[in-house]
Chains A and B, each alone.
Chain A
Amino acid sequence: MTTTSPTPTAPDLDPAPLPVTPGTGRRRFKIGAGQQLKGGPFTYAALIIVGLGSVFPLYWTLVAASHDQQRVLDSPPPLLPGGRLWSNLQSAWDQAHLGKAIVNTVVVAGSITAATLFFCTLAGYAFAKMRFRGRGALMTAVIATLTIPPQLSVVPLFMMMADIGWGGKLESVIFPTLVGAFGVFFMRQYLLEALPYELIEAAKVDGATNIRIVWNVVLPAARPAMMVLGMLTFVQAWNDFFWPFLALNQDNPTIQVALGQLSASYTPDQSIVMAGALISTLPLLLVFVIFGKQIIGGIMAGAVKG
């Protein structure tokens, strides 16, 4: 299967050591300039249309969350926000136990992100800069796991979790996702370029153990990439639906699970469902508005090099 994922990933596993020039220790995620041909009016017109299409459903979530259900289901549908936003938010909060769900989601996404950062940086560093037997094959194995859908393992996973007493608990969602192939690959690609061999050598000559090198040399060099990977992981963990929906129950949901259950109740009030959707999305939109540039740079950097 790996042979078919023709990847940007098909990695050159033995890159020539980088020419070390002073100051290459840090590579920022830069958004390149491209062909430098200027966009004309047609370009802008097309972008405006696509941009409106991208944003409108989110805007309309807000609109629908601020009317009562009757008005939301009316024809013509409302296009401007109404005055019931606050009371709908409160109803959603109470009906779906969103308070608990948000705390759960923060715990889940937070611990997954922290663990992913730590383990992926370690593994990425090993694959990028250390020599060991089987490195190429093991890296290929890591990448191959990207092609395995979670559906293949959810049934036994559910039974295993019940068996070890994690059934319905947050642990059952956290542990399977502690470290991911994408993160390992992402950190490896970054460290290949951003961490000169000279720095590692210098530390070794000074008699540093490997773990000290990780702490004092690798982690500082990896920090920009860790920030980006952290945000990507957080967004993914926050939004994850399939396995949490199967693993967690009504009393102990993440916010996506709570939202799914809210809409699957027999007579869901649509404006309240939309209010719930709004609550679950707002934190991430905030992250996006603040760190959009870095996230974009991260997706682009993770995709090409190779």
Chain B
Amino acid sequence: MATTTPTRGAPTPPPGGVGAVSKEPSVWRTRLWRLDDKASPYAYIAPFFLIFGAFGLYPMLYTGWIAMHRVEMTSLSQSEWVGWDNFAKILQDSEFWTAVTNTFVIGVISTVPQLLMALGLAHLLNYKLRASTFWRTVILTPYATSVATAALVFALVFRADGGLLNWVLHFVGIGNTDWGNGEWSSKFAISAIVIWRWTGYNTLIYLAAMQAVPTDLYEAASIDGATRWQQFRKVTIPSLRPTILFTIVISTIGSMQLFGEPLLLQGGTLGSTGGSEHQYETLSIYLFNYGWKLGHLGPAAAVAWAMLVLLLLIALINLIVGRVLRKSAA
């Protein structure tokens, strides 16, 4: 690449085609050029790192400091050292562990079906279709919807009395589930919202990866007598492996953060405790409740650090699974 980048400080002076030719010693000019070349890239990427440093990295570290202090919402400027007390407080709180479990369970039952459906749908969309853009747009429409809108509509659909879903289900004789109040049904309801909003997005990501698979692979496979299903299993899926891992990571991080869906699932004020029995309380809700409803920012910061630890654990698991998959493929 060095050959393609012209070295501007080089002895040959820049042709003076632009404006007046300067008579000044070209040393200055050369120095300026060189400074421009050296500094410009850093100047161009600086805004990202400044913003991230100020509003991402610094607060993240600051979270650790707050987690060791008593800071109340009512007097933000006062803080008092309490050491590990905040961590002890949340780790001894059974509600915290409920939230951890809920986050994990909802994460699994929303991510797995979502990605499987997206894979199948991408396969369908990869066929030559009439009005293919139309189908893609239709499947992506939920992406245009906000968490708030989606959660509020589904709240009505999942209502116990007079909800749309129960009304449909009563035709097959199972129409009296109290979706919001059940231990499992409420988690299903939340993952339904997640699945609805994100399947189309993941479908497009898979579709893009599928279209990058070279056609000769399929031709070779079909010459060898592979059926379509075998082609899907043996050609498409292996070629998609990096993309699949990518979507798993992204969806996992996303499901760690679920907030709007549980907050608004039942309307009213139930959301801030994740339901009457905390049956769908996630970690974000727990954090919000501690910090913004009860006003104790110290424990809320401790929850944030617990989330970081969980995230690292998940990353580790991903790493190991990825290794194993790669080995089994080799």
The answer to whether residues A156 and B63 also contact, given A34-B211, A299-B205 and a CB cut-off of 8 A, is yes
Contact B304 A151, beta carbon cutoff 8 Å: yes
| Contact string against A for B residues 155-194, beta-carbon threshold 8 Å, 1 for contact and 0 otherwise | 1110101111011000000000000000000000000000
Contact B56 A145, beta carbon cutoff 8 Å: yes
Cα-based distance from A135 to B71 in the complex (angstroms): 40
Instruction: Determine whether B277 belongs to the interface, using a CB cutoff of 8 Å to chain A.
Output: no
The answer to whether residues A246 and B204 also contact, given A6-B242, A293-B133 and a CB cut-off of 8 A, is no
Chain B contacts with A in 120-152, Cβ cutoff 8 A:
121, 124-129, 132-133, 135-150, 152
Cβ of A108 to closest chain B Cβ, rounded Å: 13
Contact A256 B148, beta carbon cutoff 8 Å: yes
The answer to whether residues A241 and B129 also contact, given A147-B311, A210-B40 and a CB cut-off of 8 A, is no
The 8 Å CB contact of B242, one of A8, A35, A44, A292, is A8
Interface residue tally for chain A (C-beta within 8 Å): 121
For A159, the chain B residues whose CB sits under 8 A away are: 66, 71, 76, 297
Contact B44 A17, beta carbon cutoff 8 Å: no
For A303, the chain B residues whose CB sits under 8 A away are: 204-205, 208-209, 243, 246
Chain A contacts with B in 34-83, Cβ cutoff 8 A:
34-39, 43-44, 46-47, 50-51, 53-55, 57-58, 60-61, 64, 72-77
Contact A277 B153, beta carbon cutoff 8 Å: yes
Cα-based distance from A289 to B242 in the complex (angstroms): 31
Contact B36 A149, beta carbon cutoff 8 Å: no
Instruction: Determine whether A280 belongs to the interface, using a CB cutoff of 8 Å to chain B.
Output: yes
Contact B246 A7, beta carbon cutoff 8 Å: yes
The 8 Å CB contact of B127, one of A17, A43, A77, is A43
Contact A235 B144, beta carbon cutoff 8 Å: yes
- B-side interface mostly: helix
Instruction: Determine whether B82 belongs to the interface, using a CB cutoff of 8 Å to chain A.
Output: no
Contact A239 B146, beta carbon cutoff 8 Å: yes
Instruction: Determine whether A259 belongs to the interface, using a CB cutoff of 8 Å to chain B.
Output: yes
Cα-based distance from A267 to B328 in the complex (angstroms): 57
Instruction: Determine whether B119 belongs to the interface, using a CB cutoff of 8 Å to chain A.
Output: no
For B329, the chain A residues whose CB sits under 8 A away are: none
Interface residues on B, range: 35 or more
Contact B63 A304, beta carbon cutoff 8 Å: no
The answer to whether residues A54 and B322 also contact, given A34-B210, A46-B124 and a CB cut-off of 8 A, is no
Contact A288 B137, beta carbon cutoff 8 Å: yes
For A228, the chain B residues whose CB sits under 8 A away are: none
Cβ of B230 to closest chain A Cβ, rounded Å: 14
Instruction: Determine whether A119 belongs to the interface, using a CB cutoff of 8 Å to chain B.
Output: yes
Instruction: Determine whether B55 belongs to the interface, using a CB cutoff of 8 Å to chain A.
Output: yes
The answer to whether residues A281 and B167 also contact, given A126-B41, A210-B40 and a CB cut-off of 8 A, is no
Contact A273 B304, beta carbon cutoff 8 Å: no
| Contact string against A for B residues 294-306, beta-carbon threshold 8 Å, 1 for contact and 0 otherwise | 0001001100110
The 8 Å CB contact of A300, one of B162, B208, B307, B312, is B208
For A74, the chain B residues whose CB sits under 8 A away are: 162
Cβ of A293 to closest chain B Cβ, rounded Å: 5
CB-CB nearest in chain B for A207: B14
CB<8 Å pairs between A and B, sample of 7? A4-B318, A75-B161, A151-B256, A154-B287, A241-B146, A296-B133, A299-B140
Give me the interface of A with B, judged by CB distance under 8 Å. 1, 3-10, 14, 17, 31-39, 43-44, 46-47, 50-51, 53-55, 57-58, 60-61, 64, 72-77, 119-120, 122-123, 125-127, 130-132, 135, 138, 142, 145, 147-160, 162-163, 175-176, 178-179, 181, 184, 197, 201, 204-211, 214, 235, 238-239, 241-242, 245-246, 256, 259-260, 263-264, 266, 268, 270, 273-274, 277, 280-281, 284-285, 287-289, 292-293, 295-296, 299-301, 303-304
- The 6 nearest A-B residue pairs measured at CB: A153-B59, A39-B127, A300-B208, A176-B55, A156-B62, A239-B146
Give me the interface of B with A, judged by CB distance under 8 Å. 1-2, 4-6, 8, 14-18, 36-38, 40-42, 44-45, 47-49, 51-52, 55-56, 58-60, 62-63, 65-66, 71, 76-77, 121, 124-129, 132-133, 135-150, 152-157, 159, 161-164, 166-167, 196, 200-201, 204-205, 207-212, 215, 218, 228, 242-243, 245-246, 249, 253, 256-257, 259-260, 263-264, 267-269, 271, 283-284, 287-288, 291-292, 297, 300-301, 304-305, 307-308, 311-312, 315-316, 318-319, 322
